[in-house]
Structure 1
């Protein structure tokens, strides 16, 4: 249906890719489009992940990334993902606090894929409102000269952020402003900030250092009397990047101690007039910013992709952030259960479910990115025990295999057989949660073919108790105290992890305190495996270990870090001392409240479809259809039981084939090929997966028959 404003035709905000017909996230280019925008117009492109509340930016110097890549909306625009697994991606979330989606369109609405991915890592997301040059002058005159339109624009900007579930706006006025409208522009920024805070309390409005309080487009490269009035009217200022150290010192003095962290000094990674030239030298500029105690705004770090190419993109991206990481606060602290990750960056050569190939083709979707490790290469591992007996050489994402998603974490290293205990320790996640109601920990791993099997693994939980570590090792013969078994069976229907003597994990002179537990028994393992996978026979080539801890077993403590230990078997037979290579694939880690095993995980209801079309193309039928459903969950259900995503399958007799993944309660199937279609209907099945990583039973999942018409 056409929309009009004052007789002018304006396209609706919902957009579809011209070639594939897939739904795409899009921008708005005209004020009239913003005025006519309405809630509910674009449900399929909304984000599904919100920040944990209450949320507040840390009171320290921060790091902001402003993503500007070829005017935006490339592979990332596809709300349901695309087939290009070489598309740009970002996974160093632990080093940033704010992510801005930037383009030169009037209103850049961040794609839902970016919002979901950033929010999963507790990073704020802002869109961009930009006006430029002569056209921008006309746009500003229109809304600044008319109070009714100005208030409408403010309300729309707030509503758009709230509807799509992002956190605010960068306001970038890159054109001269008539002097009679200067104070009106200041009031516009102040009112927008206030109204955003009313609807999104943690929201942010940032002002770009461009037009001054005289109305001139004149970048200041510092906070001073010419842009201070805008800074005072909003949450922060993004300084232009042609600054010198003296500009930063004056900015600190003008901001004061209370607001100096709200000043974001820009660094153009492309090096256009930037201090020290950008690129890999951006570290030098960041170092100066940190010395001043200001925050930093990295503009267009996609430079590593745009200018250095796709072939070595991952290597260059890692190099870039490894250089910056010592100067960035690591903000990745996981404080709430569940904690679930298969380490996938939202891409892969194949799609895996429970260690099995579900889709044998490449894919990319940032919404599917899993929690990433808290540490980068330069900080993530260390060794204990005999010096030089074991070491980790490389930790990298690998698409050669995966347990869930498209990647696992592949760890390469070497060891020399020894009579003494040693271990390589990989630091995975920084955490801060207490073991109150028990803790269910699961670890999934595999040793690839042609690599040594003479290594073991264990998980190590670092606690806040003085020098106390919890070791989770392999099977042991020890048994729990009867009262603990009885209590766990009553509470969770599972047997708790038995203790064993931790002396084998201690090196000479180590005065730390260790609590060691082995995996739970086979019966409890079968229950957990079936609950996780939604299958009665979930066997695969991956090894799953499960541990159940209680406060009575571990004492009152806070878990501060989760680590993986790789331990060579002892050379008790005095055999060869030749160095051996090892390789380990880490497929998934889960830390859950054990009650998830017995809690209700909800169900899909009202599964239906619309917009059906069938096209015959040579020897195949192409189906287009939109599936929709509702989801029911008990009112007292925990966050762990909420749906994380929904998997869609095509049922063909006894075969069930993966079709796609939705992060909302709708999924558009476009040009789906049915090569051997001999019936008058097809059956689609929708399976939900909870935030705790539990799958509903696929055999009993909701299904709908789509009739051939």
Structure 2
């Protein structure tokens, strides 16, 4: 490395370090959760003061820091962890399997299939005090552009809280529905940020039998929680060649233990073979052994054209795929204003050189001012991933090369029944059949639908209307698609890329309403893919009626189309003048869905201030998720929360006048949003 180039990364340890969890957390959000997690922290307290909130888990490998943790943090040893002793395991376990993906013919001529991929390092919340199953705010990084992401790193960890961070279940559930693996983070911080070399030694320690106990625990955590591997980020200086050798042996054992479970390891470009922390910004002889012991490697951010070229060539010479290298791009501070040497990574006139690793793309939320709305966040996020055109079929030009312009999108929509209510996993209210069942803001990413991967492809010879995810109204969940504009000619809005089986029994249900104007709606069904990238799909259009002013459903039977495979779904809108039209549901099935009810609902623990932990037995057969309600004396149901697990936490409940006990109902929900009968229980106030 020449003296003119940075010798270490600067962005990760910049002023943004606190938000990433690299520094000890001490802000108000953490103070609010003080003493919530420590074993025995509630001993001697009154029941009303006990905090029953479950949180995402984090640990030190073995040795704990000296002193006492900051408010809201709890120090725990991973070596001492067992699934049986984990009080929050039921809340943190992901239950959604990792879906298989396919790559449709790219919608533009610049995106390339089978080449560079994208890893995304995201901090959804500070390390401590991260609720296991969402919480009561819509202000959340509810990412939806999964179709461009191939690996998500649940970023976090700090010397003041814990340096091994397990993903919480909602993130894993949402990612898995979209075929994206999620990996936890192991962060060994620099000494300047409280790092202790002892923690590195703890991580790679061997027992008397020559085994790596922390590697065994890491595999046990991932398989117990249901996520997909680990990002290993070793940045504590002071090591030597012996420690590097031990780290390499640890990685090999972690990979050996994890492979039968499908677990993956990503190594960060930090430690080199002599044990020093020297960021190479490339794959070379100093770090190649760590890459060979891992599945992928995240290259530090200061790479050059020559770095990426030599890295890709070296990977191939080692009989590895060059696209197993993620070229790091830090977007935490500047988002799409970040200057990136795109031609070094994704050259216009040739194949991609390596894959791309985004660091902190939640900038799309964080750069917005306080009081930001979900609509503002999604507008920014759409621009980040799709480009300023907001249409991946019309790639944007400019200094920011949005992922949709370079990387082919992927889809998991391959089997029936399939349902989408355009729910993004957060909202200002909760809706069912167009009526609000809760007026409280919320986020729970595990309830998110598989949304259209190409947002938004609009084809018309007239004026293009705006198409957005909107939160002012919904048919189900928290959001719907809003088409707003002057329909001077028919407008085709493309929705999902699919490989769904088509039979004479296939029916598609649309939930829709015309907020203003008159709109004639047709369902578009494509029975083949385009012959080449950038060519449009050819749709057969079937009438879905005229949208009324209130929410209604239209069932479109596809029997006239014969049999085969559905490769795409769309809607065609025809109207006159200014129109506002909402799409709230797209449900595809061959037969009526039946969903079995859960059983044995019970209150496991209650606190005098309106907190409850509940659990139930899973329903037999397929279930998308469960929904928990409070039932009032007059029979009114109020939505409390939803989860893919069989345990839920709620808080802030109070007795109604004269109410001596509270009643809870839990229901199973199917893939096309059929709900089961309820399992019920009561608990005295």
User: Which of residues 520, 524, 527 is equivalent to 1:463?
Assistant: 527
Partner Cα separation in structure 2 for residue 17 and residue 59 of structure 1: 56
The reply to whether residue 695 of structure 1 matches residue 675 of structure 2 is yes
1:362-400 deviation line (CA, Å, top 9, x unaligned): 2222122222222124xx1101xxx43xx3321111111
Corresponding residue of 1:102: 155
Corresponding residue of 1:507: none
Corresponding residue of 2:627: 646
RMSD, aligned α-carbons: 3.0
**2:244–2:271 Cα contact (<8 Å) kept:** no
**2:605–2:614 Cα contact (<8 Å) kept:** no
Distance of aligned partners of 1:205 and 1:365 in 2 relative to their CA distance in 1, 3 Å threshold = same
**2:444–2:642 Cα contact (<8 Å) kept:** no
Q: Report which stretch shifted further, 152-161 or 77-86.
A: 77-86
Corresponding residue of 2:616: 629
Distance of aligned partners of 1:630 and 1:70 in 2 relative to their CA distance in 1, 3 Å threshold = closer
Partner Cα separation in structure 1 for residue 232 and residue 185 of structure 2: 6
The reply to whether residue 403 of structure 1 matches residue 475 of structure 2 is yes
Partner Cα separation in structure 1 for residue 253 and residue 313 of structure 2: 26
* Aligned-partner SS, 1:672: coil
Shift of 1:209: 0.3
Partner Cα separation in structure 1 for residue 217 and residue 197 of structure 2: 20
Corresponding residue of 2:574: 567
TM-score, normalised relative to structure 2: 0.79
The reply to whether residue 683 of structure 1 matches residue 663 of structure 2 is yes
1:6-30 deviation line (CA, Å, top 9, x unaligned): xxxx955999999964222132134
Kindly tell me the number of residue pairs found equivalent between the two proteins. 580
**1:269–1:303 Cα contact (<8 Å) kept:** yes
Shift of 1:339: 2.0
1:208-249 deviation line (CA, Å, top 9, x unaligned): 000101111100000000000011111011000011111001
Structure possessing the higher relative contact order (Cα contacts under 8 Å, 6 or more residues apart): 2
Distance of aligned partners of 1:144 and 1:374 in 2 relative to their CA distance in 1, 3 Å threshold = closer
User: Which of residues 39, 44, 47 is equivalent to 2:83?
Assistant: 39
* Aligned-partner SS, 1:591: strand
Corresponding residue of 1:93: 146
Distance of aligned partners of 1:642 and 1:362 in 2 relative to their CA distance in 1, 3 Å threshold = closer
1:54-453 to structure 2, matched below 5 A, reads 60-68=115-123, 71-72=126-127, 77-105=130-158, 106-134=163-191, 135-148=195-208, 151-176=212-237, 177-199=239-261, 201=262, 203-256=263-316, 258-270=320-332, 279-282=335-338, 284-291=340-347, 292-310=352-370, 311=372, 312-323=376-387, 324=402, 325-377=404-456, 380-383=457-460, 387-388=461-462, 391-416=463-488, 422-436=489-503, 438-448=505-515, 451-453=516-518
Partner Cα separation in structure 2 for residue 124 and residue 14 of structure 1: 35
Structure 2: gaps spanning 5 or more residues: 1-36, 64-76, 104-112, 388-401, 531-536
User: Which of residues 532, 549, 557 is equivalent to 1:548?
Assistant: 557
Task: Select the structure that is richer in strand.
Answer: 1
Q: Report which stretch shifted further, 457-466 or 97-106.
A: 457-466
Shift of 1:303: 2.3
Shift of 1:668: 2.4
**2:269–2:281 Cα contact (<8 Å) kept:** yes
Shift of 1:67: 0.9
Distance of aligned partners of 1:468 and 1:364 in 2 relative to their CA distance in 1, 3 Å threshold = closer
Partner Cα separation in structure 1 for residue 48 and residue 417 of structure 2: 36
* Aligned-partner SS, 1:447: strand
Structure 1: gaps spanning 5 or more residues: 1-9, 272-277, 417-421, 476-517, 520-538, 570-579, 616-621
Corresponding residue of 1:50: 97
Shift of 1:328: 2.2
Distance of aligned partners of 1:14 and 1:404 in 2 relative to their CA distance in 1, 3 Å threshold = farther
1:657-680 deviation line (CA, Å, top 9, x unaligned): 33332322122232311131343x
* Aligned-partner SS, 1:114: helix
